[in-house]
Amino acid sequence: MALYHQKHRMKAAALRPEIKAAVVHDFLEKVQIYSEKMIEEKWKTLKKKKGRDIEIMQKLAQWVQYHRFNQVALQEIEDGTLDPWFDTSRK
């Protein structure tokens, strides 16, 4: 059974908002590390192809955009902008 399962959702919903925010922040930090590795991989591949592979260029651009988006989310968790997201239950 996957960790994200219906039977665990009630317990998760009962967590304090600061715990929820910390868990999401921790996850996004791991996503950032992964996206940095993917950016590096795509960049190296593109260099090997002397910048002549449109598909790799597009994938690199997508990873950079994804990394930037997650960075904004991390900052918004840190500065409290997203606090209301963690302080309410699902509706």
Task: Report domain extents, the chain.
Answer: 16-86
pLDDT at 87: 87
Taking residue 62's Cβ as centre, other Cβ atoms within 10 Å add up to 14
Separation of alpha carbons 48 and 69, rounded Å: 27
- Report the chain (91 residues): mean pLDDT per 10 consecutive residues: 82 90 97 98 94 93 98 98 84 53
- pTM (2 d.p.): 0.84
